[in-house]
Amino acid sequence: MADLWSTLVPLILGGALVPIQIIVTILLLRSAAGKWTAIAWVAGMSAVRLAQGAVFGVILSSSQAEADSTDDSSIIVSTLLLVVAVLFLVTALRQLLADDDADGAPPKWLQSMASMTPMKAFFLGAGLLAIGAKFWVFTLGAISAIGEADIGRPASILTYLAFVVLSVSVNLALIGVEVLVPSRADALLDRASEWLTRHNRVIMMVIGFVFGTWFMVKALDGLGVIG
């Protein structure tokens, strides 16, 4: 179980600590519909992850069950982790070499948050997860790691649900601030948004290099290249 979570935690943090994603949540909380729009945005992202888990959990579990040996199953997971490592490292290098934030949203797109409805926010969240290659790889990596851990169906489902919830935990925390301390929420959210905008590049580089290296080592160890 410890080995499983050593894989899941970086995947969760990689998905949860995307600065532009957090900034969108903050902007939606400041929109006309407020917390309901932000909740719909988070629900859209979570709905796609749940659908991916339902579909690909079955597919990958079947593939692992049909594998000739435990080593074959390990190769599937290690290969996915290798892809995850490459994505993290490429993101970090792109941030290091680029003059501008390559992951930043266009100003007009950000400005549209002020008038966004809950329905549009839901589809925005769903669309982000549906077309984002790195989010697909994170999710498939989590599903494969859970399947390889062989912890039983109920525990696997609960673990994946925990992955889904924790992947949006930062967004949920921001919504919680708006709900629990509305009188102070504006100032707190403004400071958070300003800080994230200013340090977006550094955050993405640190996450990319640290987690990219971590997953590269795990993948190469699983493939028998090192260790």
Neighbours of 67 (CB within 10 A): 15
Neighbours of 71 (CB within 10 A): 11
pLDDT at 72: 61
Q: Return the amino acid letter for 192.
A: A
pLDDT at 126: 95
pLDDT at 103: 47
Please give the chain's pLDDT, 227 residues, in tens: 778 898 899 889 888 888 888 989 998 998 888 899 999 999 999 999 999 998 887 666 665 555 545 556 677 778 888 888 898 899 889 888 876 554 444 456 666 787 889 999 999 999 999 998 888 888 988 888 888 888 888 999 999 999 999 999 999 999 999 999 888 888 888 888 888 878 888 888 998 899 889 889 888 887 878 75
Q: CA 148, CA 112: separation in Å to the nearest integer?
A: 42
Q: CA 157, CA 148: separation in Å to the nearest integer?
A: 13
Domain locations along the chain: 2-222
pLDDT at 150: 81
Q: For residue 2, give both structure tokens.
A: 């410890």
Q: CA 30, CA 24: separation in Å to the nearest integer?
A: 10
pLDDT at 108: 63
pLDDT at 43: 97
Whole-model pTM: value is: 0.81
